[in-house]
Structure 1
Amino acid sequence: MSGAPVVVVGAGPVGTTAALLLARRGLEVVLLDRRSRPHDLPRAVHLDDEALRALADAGVADGFLALSRPMAGLRLLDAGQRTLAEFRREPGAGRHGWPQASMFHQPDLEELLRAAVDRAGGIAVHRGAEVVGLTEADRSVTVHVRDGSGGCRDVVASAVVGCDGAHSTVRGLLGARMRDLGRPDRWLVVDLRAPAPLPVWPGVHQVCDPARAATFMPVTGDRYRFEARLRPGETAADLTGPATLHALLAPFGAQDAEVVRAAEYVYRAQVADRWRRGRVLLAGDAAHLTPPFVGQGLGLGLRDVHQLAWKLAAVVAGAAGEELLDTHQAERRPHARALVRLAALLGRLMTGGGAAAAPARRAVLAAVGRVPALAAYATDSRTPALRGGPLVDRRGRAGRRLAGTLVPRARVRADGRDCRLDDVLGAGPAVLTAGDGVLTVETGGRRTEVDDVDGVLTAWLRAGRATTVAVRPDRVVRSAS
């Protein structure tokens, strides 16, 4: 039923981005959210440049850059606030033309996305709309919705994307369950505002103290965040008394900052065992939950919908068979599992092991800091390649190196104008070829010569031992030779 809209459940940043990506591919979208008003409290604070490709295709990357700031890097501290290791990020743009990592205030991002939805057209937003059931047919899904007054109505959809968070209704209706990849971890999260800039290094501070692991980071403007692991039996109230909180914040000069909110969070390492049934699919926190140690909570969700939107658009339009949707779980679930496991592992390495582990941790981290290749790896924003499959051909030397990774968003000159490679690639599949000193892009039956302004593409192809690269609509390399 291609004439029916796609229903996206959940109007957080992942769901709203999904709606924009689908609408930009010509689909009608109905965006449902059970909350009557947008969430006005900060949650996510970090986004990498890979995930920013999703916001760029949604049309809001420039707006995001205006409200965010580059992240300076990571500093690991011991219990006495002495530096164990420091991993600085270069202040300029990375291979995708943006800072490798950015800090932001989530309500600012959500406001930016809502404004983009208002401008987009083709997206109907309904708040206070709770999904209470799904009835699936061959090529449609009827969504049963209850509004704030208790009334019920049905929305016939061509597909449903559940982006409705950790307590996802769609996940339950799908019959999916979360599978644990690690133990839950209870933390106090405190959001702060300071009337004057605090005298603190502008990167993330991670206190590697098993007795009281903690994190402190400047966010944007006058906003800061402090997090501390709760001990067994402790509650958030135990740490938020004036004297206790003052002592926790004093090492960062934040003892006099205004507390905007303080709450207990349970960080979980979980991935859903099922991401699709028919034309009902999961994305974002509905499909996975991760500890914060590699800053991938929001980034994982944006990758989900970026890699799903073009597939779903092709299936709904009748340009591809239903089997294309099988690749959503096949590609995204292993990638999510790898990053969730990595976050859990790094959390244990940085903050676990008890007091006896402190000397070994100091020695290991000092050694890592002295090896440039390892230090660079610690700040690299690249995530693991997607596994091989119908849409990722990892055969051959170049395929093993490049397939399943993102093509750089390099600066190029094409048709007499300076732009980014994504502007030349367009919205569909493309082929990038290097030969006789000339780079060409073939897409939509058109062949365009491009000048690799900064040499980024040439270096990337050389490192990958490739002369021809097939690129998917989500900028993922499909094959290389």
Structure 2
Amino acid sequence: MTSDRSGRPVVVVGAGPVGTSAAILLAQHGVPVVLLDRWADVFPQPRAVHLDDEVHRVLARMGVAEEFAAVSRPGRGLRLVDRDLRVLGSFEREGISEASGYPRANMYDQPDLERVLRGRMAALPLITFRGGVEVTGVEADGPVAARVRLREVASGAEETLDASFVLGCDGANSTVRQSIGSSMEDLGFEQRWLVLDVDTSADLRQWEGVQQVCDSRRAATYMRIGETRYRWELRLLDHETADDYATIESLLPLLAPWTRNVPVEELKLVRITSYTFRAAIADRWRSGSVFLLGDAAHLTPPFIGQGLGAGVRDAANLCWKVAGVLAGQLDAEVLDSYEPERSGHARSMILLARRLGVVMTRGGRLGDGLRRLAVPGLALGDGRADHGIGPLLHLLAHRSQRLGGEAVSEHLASLL
């Protein structure tokens, strides 16, 4: 066996939910951790809003199940709807999972989750958190050694940290990924979307799950994420920017299917921004003692709510192995299993989200008509990588052929 007992910490780059989860899991195994981030506090803007029961179970392993339950609400699943919110297909996730014991779908505000994780981190003395620093480079120096170059944002002072391992949890524009020469494989999806959160105590009288609006002109997503907090994601047209929708009044035509009976003064715009949704995966997740996790390793469109959860799964897979190697209980070769075990699942989730995004947005008026004919009444299964939306897509093609012949079937297949 090979191990490193020199006391060098594991350095985790990025203190979002994935990096903080990794730090907590390592510390629980007795591993000293230095957690680095450009920001000293929780980034205040909401982003991710959904975690499934399996990730909830990982949070329980970290000791924050009750705290997360207090800031989240159980979801009911996902429905595909048309522009008039008529149900085309459903993916029910209501209730408690018999396998995990936690709600199958959990809706929340990401800053709330991050505060829960920061609170747990503060209770673990093996974690040293350093905010206000920017990592400028990482070098692997053997199987259990690495160097991290960083700069203090305020002063510009530079220093180097010695590490046993480096976990790059630094997001889509990962410095760690660039440092190890890894690049992102484009999986063929890029769309600009408007993302906004609204606070209101009004009763919108909507289904409590996620609605995915299948509309080739203006696809959209609606969900309730808190007691009075709602999230909309709406595809931007080519000529539009987020600046065109800077006020709640300018948004009313887009939100009308959900809010037409709510007085405008009862709707508070919490935040609005635009994102480019992409599908991509790193061509390699490791160089020696340096690893990639979360968005540094994979980017998924948000349509099935698995982006952040995939990063937490990365941390749950890798951290016990790193701890075992450092303790001399496991051979270093066990670390070779991380990428094979995680990349296939991550890729399948990305492709699943991509295909749903395509179903929601492509095909023009003919595609909209085919969706109305082919989808109604379908159930999407249990949401696992080998079930879920895949059967829906096959059934769509089958029904379209039955309804409209080969030409219609081929057109729908081109959307998938």
- TM-score of the two chains, using structure 2 as the length reference: 0.87
SS in 2 for 1:285: helix
SS in 2 for 1:90: coil
1:68 corresponds in structure 2 to 72
Partner residue of 2:19 out of 12, 15, 20: 15
1:197 and 1:222 in contact (8 A); partners too: no
How far has the Cα of 1:326 moved from its partner?
Answer: 1.2
How far has the Cα of 1:367 moved from its partner?
Answer: 4.6
SS in 1 for 2:188: coil
1:266 correspondence with 2:276: yes
Q: Deviations over 1:16-61 (max 9, x none)?
A: 0000000001100100001233201110000001122221221112
1:34 correspondence with 2:44: no
In structure 1, the gaps of 5 or more residues are: 369-374, 386-481
Partner residue of 2:322 out of 295, 299, 312: 312
SS in 1 for 2:230: strand
> How has the CA–CA distance of structure 1 residues 376 and 207 changed in structure 2, closer, same or farther, with 3 Å as cutoff?
closer
1:223 correspondence with 2:233: no
Taking the aligned partners of 1:290 and 1:207, their CA distance within structure 2 comes to 18
> How has the CA–CA distance of structure 1 residues 255 and 174 changed in structure 2, closer, same or farther, with 3 Å as cutoff?
farther
In structure 2, the gaps of 5 or more residues are: 388-416
Q: For residue 62 of structure 2, what is the amino acid of its counterpart?
A: A
1:7 and 1:161 in contact (8 A); partners too: yes
- The correspondence of residues 65-464 of structure 1 with structure 2, limited to 5 A, is 65-138=69-142, 139-148=144-153, 149-240=155-246, 243-253=249-259, 256=264, 257-368=267-378, 375=379, 377=381, 380-384=382-386
* Deviation beyond 6 Å, 4+ runs, structure 1: none
1:312 and 1:325 in contact (8 A); partners too: yes
How far has the Cα of 1:179 moved from its partner?
Answer: 0.8
Q: Deviations over 1:204-228 (max 9, x none)?
A: 1111111110111110111100111
Q: For residue 67 of structure 2, what is the amino acid of its counterpart?
A: G
1:6 correspondence with 2:16: no
Aligned sequence identity (%): 49
Taking the aligned partners of 1:126 and 1:229, their CA distance within structure 2 comes to 37
2:37 and 2:130 in contact (8 A); partners too: yes
2:190 and 2:277 in contact (8 A); partners too: yes
Worse-matched range after superposition: 235-244 or 349-358: 235-244
SS in 1 for 2:318: helix
Q: Deviations over 1:43-95 (max 9, x none)?
A: 00000011222212211122111211111122222123322234433334442
Taking the aligned partners of 2:347 and 2:80, their CA distance within structure 1 comes to 25
2:54 corresponds in structure 1 to 50
Q: For residue 124 of structure 2, what is the amino acid of its counterpart?
A: A
Taking the aligned partners of 1:91 and 1:330, their CA distance within structure 2 comes to 32
How far has the Cα of 1:255 moved from its partner?
Answer: 6.7
SS in 2 for 1:59: coil
- TM-score of the two chains, using structure 1 as the length reference: 0.75
Q: For residue 336 of structure 2, what is the amino acid of its counterpart?
A: D
SS in 2 for 1:269: strand
How far has the Cα of 1:320 moved from its partner?
Answer: 2.0
How far has the Cα of 1:99 moved from its partner?
Answer: 0.8
Instruction: With a CA cutoff of 8 Å and minimum separation of 6, indicate the structure with the bigger relative contact order.
Output: 2
**Count of residues paired in the alignment:** 377
2:213 and 2:220 in contact (8 A); partners too: yes
Taking the aligned partners of 1:251 and 1:60, their CA distance within structure 2 comes to 37
Where is the helix percentage greater, Structure 1 or Structure 2?
Answer: 2
Q: What's the C-alpha RMSD, in Å, of the aligned pairs?
A: 1.7
2:400 corresponds in structure 1 to none
Taking the aligned partners of 2:91 and 2:297, their CA distance within structure 1 comes to 31
